[in-house]
Amino acid sequence: MRILLVEDNAQLAEALEALLSGAGYAVDRVGDGAGAEALAAAENFDLVILDLNLPQMDGLQVLSRMRARGNQASVMILTARGAPEDRVRGLDLGADDYMVKPFDIGEFEARVRSLLRRQAGLRAAQVTVGEVTLDLAARRFSAAGLPLDLPAREHALLELLFMRAGKVVTKEAIVQSLTRLEDSLSDNAIEQYASRLRRRLTPHGVQIRTARGIGYYIDRAA
């Protein structure tokens, strides 16, 4: 899943980027409002974490312009501005969550997971296909009740497919969700990840199927 982190405090931004990247998210970081507004207009993100006190453009302006363009990415405002009127305005402009600094890291991580589940249209705590279950809170897979350990990119691809179970996920959406701006992910690499997942998962009743020329989706193995 892809996250845009908008924070002008370099030390905090680096810490949050390391935290989110370590959790397996693809994170792009920008430190000013104008850059955030431009990047949100040009790229697709599952979640935007948005400070309000930003150089060049206030975070509320960034949010307002995003929603005016029809951008439906989840937005968490993360700011030192905790007055009720700031919260009300942020939520009225279309923010999905509002956290005030300083904040608890565990709560922050839980809210990120919750927003990403909501973005994917998920309400249940787990997604199960065949014998394989994705625990949405822990972001862990199990197969027949036993932990299923996967390399980072394969885990990220399978998580994306499970969170959009029943839908074809295009190759473009896979690239957008799994990579940052400076990363690259070729069609051949995606096919290799899909092939490895097929070998691992078919014995557990899960098939990674190809929608030719479009992308991939998960299904119960025959």
pLDDT in tens, 6-16: 999 999 999 99
Question: Which tokens is 20 given?
Answer: 């989110």
Q: Are 53 and 79 in contact (CB under 8 A)?
A: yes
pLDDT (0 to 100) of residue 165 = 83
Which ranges of the chain would DSSP assign to H, the alpha helix? 10-22, 33-42, 59-68, 84-92, 105-119, 152-163, 171-178, 187-201
| pLDDT tops 80 at residue 124 | no
pLDDT in tens, 71-91: 989 999 999 999 999 999 999
| Sequence-separated contacts (24+) of 100-103 with Cβ below 8 Å | 103/78
pLDDT (0 to 100) of residue 198 = 92
pLDDT (0 to 100) of residue 185 = 80
Q: Are 53 and 80 in contact (CB under 8 A)?
A: yes
Distance CA 104, CA 19 (A): 13
Show me where the domains of the chain are located: 2-119, 126-220
* Fold (topology level) of 126-220: Arc Repressor Mutant, subunit A (1.10.10)
* Fold (topology level) of 2-119: Rossmann fold (3.40.50)
pLDDT (0 to 100) of residue 43 = 87
| pLDDT tops 90 at residue 126 | no
pLDDT (0 to 100) of residue 222 = 54
Distance CA 157, CA 6 (A): 25
As beta bridge partners, residue 100 has 79
